[in-house]
A and B are shown apart, each in its own frame.
Chain A
Amino acid sequence: MTEITVSAERLSHWFGQGETRKQALFDVSLALPRGSFTVLMGPSGSGKTTVLTLLGCLRAVQAGSVRLLGHELHGAPEPHLVALRRRLGFIFQMHNLHESLTAAQNVIMGLQVHPGVPDATARAAAAQVLGLVGLSDRIDYLPANLSGGQKQRVAVARALVGNPALVLADEPTAALDKDTAAGVVDLLKRMGAARGTTTLLVTHDNRILDRADRILTLEDGRIVKVEDRA
């Protein structure tokens, strides 16, 4: 039996209160095996981001169940969610790098969230991961001095440096040109495979689909299609 990194069972979600209350997810169920690379597709407003934030402990589960790394998220207290988040890697549409920190320092922030990592170890790890994403010569650059693709690669390095069990990426290539986008996704796929990381990637980008093990399609808050590619 394959190990499941994260699973959702009849997950529903509502936004707003009273009159304006609106259901965004309807009984979504899914399971991501360890080391898999899953793409979540669907039109804008279909609920992709909502799924991602629920699996990533960024929102409280309202109805249904999410099991992440063996922990039930429904009803879990906030400090518990914060602790679980440290075992995840997030990549956002915008790189969200800290403008005052160099590439290396931004990556170190991804590691320092784990207590007790010695300074020297953190530096070495940051340099190594930046090397893997091809930025060895940009280690001490501030984000302002990096191109869009380079910044997103630093963000990938930051998400991966702590060896996360699950990487959640929401349209990480939206702000990049075609070639750069393909490069970033290949990087994610390659590094995930090498480390046994489970990856869930939200995208509109058709060129990415052929890299997926599995494609989930969401429409109006429901999973309407599951395609296995592996």
Chain B
Amino acid sequence: MAMLEVKNIEVCYGMIRAIKNISFEINKGEIVALIGANGAGKTTTLHTVSGLLKPTTGQVLFNGKDISKIPAHKIVTMGMAHVPEGRRVFQQLSVLDNLKLGAYTRTDKKEIAENLKRVYEHFPRLAERKHQIAGTLSGGEQQMLAMGRALMSNPDIILMDEPSMGLSPLLVKEIFTIIEELHKAGTTILLVEQNAKMALSVANRAYVLETGSIAMSGDAKEMLNNDDIKKAYLGQ
């Protein structure tokens, strides 16, 4: 059974149909990339998976349970974390307070402390800056904080929306190294990216989204060598 199974969802903003009947799935332990041009519907898809948006038709099955009608804040407790587009860390709060909010739904104090230690190991820079106000962090550090915050809920699956957006090539590399580390540690990841090359090189499988529909899917490494993909998304 797939850990996450999206079945024939359609998502609308008022009269606009942003997602037209798409289906995909992610198995435990996989990194699956969702790539596509601006406005293809990647963010809309992630919002629908994590419950911020509700599909007009279709289902989202998480560990076999239909979560498409469950409020987003309850889905978090079921083991899903979402690193939103544009990071959206709480600007006025300290790094530590942001991380603590990541563990908002948990009550197991000891495990939270251990989790915090693990996050600091992944992101030593957050440890150095734990009392700094998040709004004063650099873009890359804010991305690390957004990822660390998501990890604080100890999720089974993480949805990441364009973690490389606006970062220098060096930092993009760093972020992707961390994504691979998380993957090795057993986290299942749904990765949305504009940076198709990086995304395909870390992913196991990928789906290509075009104006609200899935245009292609398959093995990520094969896609890296696919001529259509090269032309449309890799700029080659």
Our verdict on whether A and B bind, yes or no, reads: no
**B contacts, CB < 8 Å to A:** none
A contacts, CB < 8 Å to B? none
